[in-house]
Structure 1
Amino acid sequence: MVLAVGRARDARACHDGDVAHIEHSTALPYPRERVFAWFERPGALVRLTPPFAGSVLSEPDDGLRDGSEARLAVGAPGVLGTGLGALAAALPLPSALPGWLRRGQVESTGRHDSYDPPRGFRVTTTGPFGRIVHEHRFVESDGGGTVLHESVDVVAPRESDLVAGTLVPTLRRVLEYRAVQLRDDLAFHAAHADAGPRTIAVAGASGLIGTQLCALLSVGGHRVLRLVRRPAETSDEISWDPAAGRLDPEALRDVDAVVNLAGRSIGGRFTAAAKDEILTSRAEGTLLIARALADLAGDGRRRAFVCASGIGYYGTDPHGDGDDAPLTEDSPSGAGFLALVCREWEGATEPAEKAGVRVVNVRTGLVQSPAEGSLSRLLPLFAVGLGGPLDREQWQSWISVDDVVSVYAHAVLTDDLAGPLNAVGPEPVRGAEYARTLGKVLRRPALVPVPSFGPRLVVGSEGAQELAYASQRVSSDRLEASGYTFRHRTLGAALRHVLP
């Protein structure tokens, strides 16, 4: 069970012209060596970088040691900057441009020094907003815990208004975000400590969920192997070609679990070609992995196969008969293209299941992240005060991005968990409540209903029906019964965590 532990004091900032100083402290009930080790592992920077502030282009090339460098993509601070970044990502910009540039971000570099394990380290970041010096000090507290003291000095290149008015509030939010991520990640791994270190292969590792899942597993001390569609270049990569049906089962011999997140994005118009690619990219890749795991089943090693699916399994309007009872894993599959995709997707895991592999089909809800998905498409309108509900009465079964990532890790590390599993928050909301909550978090009105022709212009009639107007009230009871505790139980808590 995940425990909500630790607390953080409010950050304090004082301004002196173009210079600002911010402090933040976080109390954690874990030994200093364990907390410092979390920071030293690959994935820590990914876990600590808020989606409203930017993304990691490359992790530190030599851990926390002096001279180690990391590259980040940084967006404009504040709600408007986040909305503009989401708008830029949605525009049809040339695909040859780097993804971070298409999201309206610019590059910055962080350089480490003052490495003193397990007492502390420092990072100096230079970029478009000036120079930011971030010092970390780890102090032992009474009872064997740790207090992490963070101090940030900001030197802006020009006007002090940038520092006082926009940059410092954003950095304060960044420190608050980091404290929550660190606390919750340490608690998650403490709750799953009995599982021991494992080796996990991940397909679709470069996507939104895959990137964060690899990071979460890595900071917990697990070894992560990435399936890549090119020749493997390092010992932590496995080459595969799902379109050609190529995956050497021997490459999975030492793996304890495989997580499959691979598949073409379902965004965009549902043309015949797009629908074929959406279906085949999921079913064929899943079947290839399932057969490879089945081939290894005779060696006596107990393996798991955790495969993505979606709440689209239940159809676009499973409540059309007026019965609003929450949908459980035992509810029948519904009508529509995405329901078909999910049935084929889940069915493709059968060879592994028949061979004795533990299989979990994670039926993912509406993932809340400003980086992509339904929330990112709404942000530009809400940021300028033109937001509102798509459909006031539709049920939206949402889940925070950190919860869905933790659900996948939980499925990997929980040996008695098998079968379909709904990955949704415990409190689904109707469309009107979703809009009100998002507007409140962004401090913007949510009064303008989105005209019905809007989604149809973007994704076509079938896409709008399947994506924008699907109404699904889905239960998380089985997930909680398996021992999972949510990081964000309410929509408001989920949105406040990932938005500035």
Structure 2
Amino acid sequence: MKIAITGATGFIGEKLVSKLAIQHQIVIFTRSIEKAKSAFKASLLSNLEFVSYTPKQAGEWQKKIDGCDAVINLAGAPIAERWTTDYKREILESRQLGTRMIVEAISQGENKPKVLINASAIGYYGTSETETYTEISPAGNDFLAEVCQSWENEAQKVTSEGVRLVIFRLGIVLGNGGALAKMIPPFKIFAGGPIGSGKQWFSWVHIDDVVNMIENALTSDNIEGTFNATAPYPVTMNQLCETLGNVLKRPSWLPVPSIALELLLGDGAKVVLEGQKVLPQKTQEVMNYDFQYSNLKSALEDIVG
């Protein structure tokens, strides 16, 4: 297959490209071709094509979508930053406008891809310490919920072009990088512990399962619609930190007060401090996905054990 990918140098994208490029031709859309080339092994470069693009603006780059068999759209500004007014706009527009330009490119092509796989996030549901969310749960009404709705609404427009659409609402992805990379250093110096109350839900997923889900969706014509990319057994922040401490053979005794995270991330701290319990009901029942890592301990042992 010839597969177009945005967000290819991100945490998920880099792992995904490294796997898919073994068998497929990958067209990587990037704002920095040199940076993108340096992210991948030399042995893969013969199967990679790099296209310079402006994610939020139409341009010549859009013509490169024509003739691709599939598009995977993972691009979006990082969430774990301080949410100033300008940065909140960037969080929204990088997803909303970025996806709009991708769909526009698909609609203009003569040889349209068969499938668009678009990222979203479990922020769609809002936050709660008591509710349990599945794919049929309604959207929340906070900032991230509104971002996710706008993001998904833009992706939905591709269905009018006869293109199959798969949306993955991503949980907190665990792997060698991402959120886990920020949590491990304090544990290694015996200063690890839960963030905030510790009672908030942490809906996680191993990066290998995310990559496998996307790969399955590429080739299975019966996979269509919206799916939660979260492991079937979410945990609380207390349980996460206790398990991480056990795997690292370090104590989990020094809680990180909420105010410390709020000073660092501002409104963005809400994602970590409030959380949500999300189950992959449709992913298991409709997609029939069999999680490689459904248990947090086995996932952490694979990553850091």
Report the TM-score, using the length of structure 1 for normalisation.
Answer: 0.56
Measured in 2, the distance between the counterparts of 1:347 and 1:387 equals 39
Contact 1:307 1:359 in 2 (8 A): yes
1:402-441 → structure 2 map (5 Å cutoff) = 402-441=208-247
Tell me which of 291, 313, 317 is aligned to 2:124: 313
| Correspondence for 2:42 | none
Aligned residue-pair number: 292
| Correspondence for 2:27 | 225
What does the per-residue CA deviation read over 1:352-406, in whole Å, with 9 as the maximum and x for residues that have no partner? 1111111111100011124222x22221211111211123221111001111122
Contact 1:287 1:348 in 2 (8 A): yes
Q: Structure 1 pair 231/488, CA: closer, same or farther in 2 (3 Å)?
A: closer
> Residue 271 of structure 1 aligns to which amino acid in structure 2?
T
Root-mean-square deviation (Å) = 2.0
| Correspondence for 1:357 | 163
Measured in 2, the distance between the counterparts of 1:478 and 1:378 equals 30
Measured in 2, the distance between the counterparts of 1:394 and 1:243 equals 34
| Correspondence for 1:483 | 288
1:118-197 → structure 2 map (5 Å cutoff) = none
| Correspondence for 2:49 | 236
What does the per-residue CA deviation read over 1:155-185, in whole Å, with 9 as the maximum and x for residues that have no partner? xxxxxxxxxxxxxxxxxxxxxxxxxxxxxxx
Measured in 2, the distance between the counterparts of 1:237 and 1:386 equals 42
Long gaps (5+) in structure 1: 1-197
Measured in 2, the distance between the counterparts of 1:270 and 1:252 equals 32
Deviation at 1:303, TM superposition (A): 1.1
Contact 2:192 2:245 in 1 (8 A): yes
| More helix by percentage | 2
Tell me which of 355, 358, 367 is aligned to 2:173: 367
Q: Is residue 203 from structure 1 mapped to residue 203 from structure 2 by the alignment?
A: no
Contact 2:4 2:27 in 1 (8 A): yes
Structure label with greater radius of gyration = 1
Measured in 2, the distance between the counterparts of 1:247 and 1:419 equals 30
What does the per-residue CA deviation read over 1:404-429, in whole Å, with 9 as the maximum and x for residues that have no partner? 12222222222111121100011101
Deviation at 1:459, TM superposition (A): 0.5
Long gaps (5+) in structure 2: 38-45
| Correspondence for 1:383 | 188
Measured in 2, the distance between the counterparts of 1:382 and 1:247 equals 48
| More strand by percentage | 1
Identical counterparts, % of pairs? 36
Measured in 2, the distance between the counterparts of 1:243 and 1:268 equals 20
Deviation at 1:328, TM superposition (A): 1.2
| Correspondence for 2:72 | 259
| Correspondence for 1:474 | 278
Measured in 2, the distance between the counterparts of 1:236 and 1:327 equals 39
Measured in 1, the distance between the counterparts of 2:89 and 2:284 equals 35
Measured in 2, the distance between the counterparts of 1:353 and 1:246 equals 22
> Residue 289 of structure 1 aligns to which amino acid in structure 2?
I
Contact 1:239 1:247 in 2 (8 A): no
What does the per-residue CA deviation read over 1:87-136, in whole Å, with 9 as the maximum and x for residues that have no partner? xxxxxxxxxxxxxxxxxxxxxxxxxxxxxxxxxxxxxxxxxxxxxxxxxx
Secondary structure of 1:200's partner?
strand
Q: Is residue 213 from structure 1 mapped to residue 26 from structure 2 by the alignment?
A: no
